[in-house]
Amino acid sequence: MMDEVQPIFTISMAAELAGMHAQTLRQYDRLGLVCPQRTAGQSRRYSMRDVAQLREVAQLSSEGVSLEGISRVLELENQADILRKRVRELEIALADALLAQPGRRVFAAGSEGEVQTLRAGTRARRQTDIVVWRPYAG
């Protein structure tokens, strides 16, 4: 499986994948729209995520959005991605913390098959109702 942020594409490959000229990619890099990573020799290397952003820039541009507007859209999308990742991390940490608490894993099945959470050291209530079945003789 390929990592979407792994910088693997040269500028010519990224330009071809995005349907643009390499010079356009250089311009977007200078403007800070899509900034690829650099190799030790300062060559640009684009990731799949960078290529997707380049395609989005092209689409927004064709719809008449200014470069400043496109920059703002990309910035907000990047912030939203960061926040989504942070929420996932916090959800995992919360789930781990809840499972680590003593007594949190005690449960029983109810009469209808539902799961009932119990406190540690307590027992489930048993149903003691008596049901009499009489066949209908009619």
Q: What is the chain's pLDDT, residue by residue, as a tens digit (138 residues)?
A: 678 889 999 999 999 999 999 999 999 999 999 999 999 999 999 999 999 999 999 999 999 999 999 999 999 999 999 999 999 999 999 988 887 776 555 666 666 777 767 666 666 666 666 767 677 765
Beta bridge partners of 107: 117
The pLDDT, as a whole number, for residue 89 is: 96
**Domain covering 11-100: architecture:** Orthogonal Bundle (1.10)
The pLDDT, as a whole number, for residue 88 is: 94
The pLDDT, as a whole number, for residue 96 is: 85
pTM: predicted TM-score of the whole model, two decimal places: 0.63
The pLDDT, as a whole number, for residue 98 is: 80
The pLDDT, as a whole number, for residue 3 is: 85
The pLDDT, as a whole number, for residue 138 is: 59
Distance, CA of 45 to CA of 50 (rounded, Å):
9
User: Comparing C-alpha atoms, which of 56, 86, 82 is closest to residue 69?
Assistant: 56
First and final CA of the chain: distance in angstroms? 69
